[in-house]
Amino acid sequence: MILKMKYKSIFYAFTFTIACFNSSAQILQPATTPNAAQKALIKRGYGMFIHFGLNTFTNVEWSDGTTPASAYNPTNLDPDQWVRTAKEAGFRYVLLVTKHHDGFCLWDSKYTDYDVASSPVKTDVVKAVSDACKKYGLQFAIYYSLWDRHEPSFKDKNPQVYINYMLNQLTELFTHYGPICEVWFDGGWKRKPSDWGIDQLYKLIKKYNPKCAVSVNHTIVNEEGTRKLTLPSLMTEDNKYFFQYFPSDFRLWDPKIITKFDKKQYLHKGKSYYLPYEHTICLSSRWNWFEKSEQLPVRSLDELQELFYWCTDNDNSLVINVPPDKTGRIREYEANAVIELGKRLGLSANKPLPKNGKFISLLKPATASSEFADKNQKYSASFVNDGSLDSRWLAADTLAELTIHLNPSDKFNKISIFEYQDTKQLPDGFSQIRTGRIQEYSIDILKDRQWETIYLSAKPMGDCKVIRFQGSYQTNQLRFRVIKATAPPSLYELSVIDDSKLKK
């Protein structure tokens, strides 16, 4: 162990020198259209996010850097299975957490002993995943935490010391595990944005792969120079919001979701840059990232399908977190879920990503039998079809109705409903148990001045309900009627959709 440390230190100084002497690499340019890295990101569109590491074996979501490397001990480590599953499920890339906030590295890094090489299972996971990606024809992307709770240089008064550590590790990753198509930086809130050397990291990455897309979580703020984050769902205006971390090729904020009116132009020092958005969501209905001992239920296929469309539309992209468990394999039932989703979506490496139908209800007049009283009208009926999954209608009564006025010449054959869920946070600070309120409900349309029920359910709605019709309907009014609920019902979004033209 002592020998290894010495060896690592020599390399540290050496590689740092190389990194600093390269300043000719590509830098982000003002633009209103995607650059090569962004075009590649948009084309990829759909990736599998893999959280695996020390936290898989702890009872917290973010271990503090003192957990011994020996705690990392998968009994049946199988990275080939991860990537094979990704391929079967139609993902186009795999985004691997190479180092989380705890600082533990999934590869044998020359610059630290806090890595798999010091653990009971010494497999170089980064190499194994990168190799499997080549084998299965997928692209390879990495998540790398800026924040490092273990590495001593992180606490050095001179920020450059830790920046050099990162430059060295990224050099290792790019020289031994490439090509890497994307870097997802996280944990930036632990330092001033300017103290991370983002420009140096960006330049280094671009030197190795100009087409690599780079970003830092919580990319965008309300006011230049502040840390006031801008919710992705509010990014509906060009040239209004600012980079927090510059340069970045795309926007990030897990697990937030943009609106139907997402815009792409963001400001930095008076200039405007094009930035797509990459969504990151969990397969688990409990919104967990690391898969620990407990088996967690997955989101419904309907919800995943609608989120897929929502998140990959409009030149944005989506990664779904499918974490391996303590044995080192993706659980069979979770693999089954993403594979079935891919089948449903008809994903194929050679075809463009599928799209949802036309939302004929978007922004149409909506009224409700009741709205929860709020001086800012935060819960009015109009939020139900505003194209945002953050805003919502909330009724004042348990029994409630909501009516949307439609253009009677618009046909529809599908309705998707995202219901607000009461959540109970679990002790790890991330997981949550989600409980809906709506138990029985109907969809009615106005026909010859009479309400006709076209769908009736006596089953709890859940996060997302999709209703499909064999034929098409047309009406000037569509009503959502809650027949039974355990609390005043609330909907994020109710979308009336025509996807008849998309069917084969």
Instruction: Please state whether beta strands 450-457 and 358-359 pair in parallel, antiparallel, or not at all (unpaired).
Output: unpaired
The answer to whether residue 437 forms part of the interface with a copy of itself (CB under 8 A) is no
146 Cβ neighbours under 8 A, 6+ residues apart: 166, 185, 186, 187, 188, 190, 191, 196, 216
Q: Which is nearer to a copy of itself, 221 or 406 (CB)?
A: 406
Instruction: Please give the Cα distance from 209 to 198 (Å, whole number).
Output: 16
**How many chain residues bind a copy of itself (CB under 8 A)?**
29
Report the nearest approach of a copy of itself to the CB of residue 393 (Å): 23
Q: Which helix (H) or strand (E) holds 46?
A: strand 46-50
Q: Which is nearer to a copy of itself, 302 or 386 (CB)?
A: 302
**Contact range with a copy of itself by CB under 8 A, out of 241-249, 338-346, 360-368, 372-380:** 338-346
| Backbone angles phi and psi of 405, in degrees to 5 | -85, 125
Q: Which is nearer to a copy of itself, 278 or 463 (CB)?
A: 463
How many CA atoms are closer than 13 Å to the CA of 388, on its beta-carbon side?
Answer: 17
How many CA atoms are closer than 13 Å to the CA of 333, on its beta-carbon side?
Answer: 8
The answer to whether residue 489 forms part of the interface with a copy of itself (CB under 8 A) is no
Report the nearest approach of a copy of itself to the CB of residue 464 (Å): 13
Report the nearest approach of a copy of itself to the CB of residue 388 (Å): 27
The answer to whether residue 340 forms part of the interface with a copy of itself (CB under 8 A) is yes
User: Are the C-beta atoms of residues 462 and 367 closer than 8 Å to each other?
Assistant: no
The answer to whether residue 424 forms part of the interface with a copy of itself (CB under 8 A) is no
**Contact range with a copy of itself by CB under 8 A, out of 315-323, 380-388, 389-397, 464-472:** 464-472
Torsion of CA 271, 276, 282, 283, to 10 degrees: 180
68 Cβ neighbours under 8 A, 6+ residues apart: none
Residues 276-335 that bind a copy of itself (CB under 8 A): 285, 295-298, 300, 331-333
The answer to whether residue 336 forms part of the interface with a copy of itself (CB under 8 A) is yes
Selection from 298, 305, 315 nearest residue 342 by Cα: 305
**Contact range with a copy of itself by CB under 8 A, out of 227-235, 245-253, 463-471, 486-494:** 463-471
The answer to whether residue 439 forms part of the interface with a copy of itself (CB under 8 A) is no
The first and second tokens of residue 208, run together, are 């190795």
Residue type, 97: V
The answer to whether residue 456 forms part of the interface with a copy of itself (CB under 8 A) is yes
Q: Kindly report the number of other CB atoms within 10 A of residue 379's CB atom.
A: 22
Report the nearest approach of a copy of itself to the CB of residue 295 (Å): 6
> 60, 161, 339, 466: which one contacts a copy of itself (CB under 8 A)?
339
Report the nearest approach of a copy of itself to the CB of residue 470 (Å): 5
Q: Give residues in contact with a copy of itself (CB under 8 A).
A: 285, 295-298, 300, 331-333, 336, 339-340, 343, 440, 442, 452-460, 462, 468-471
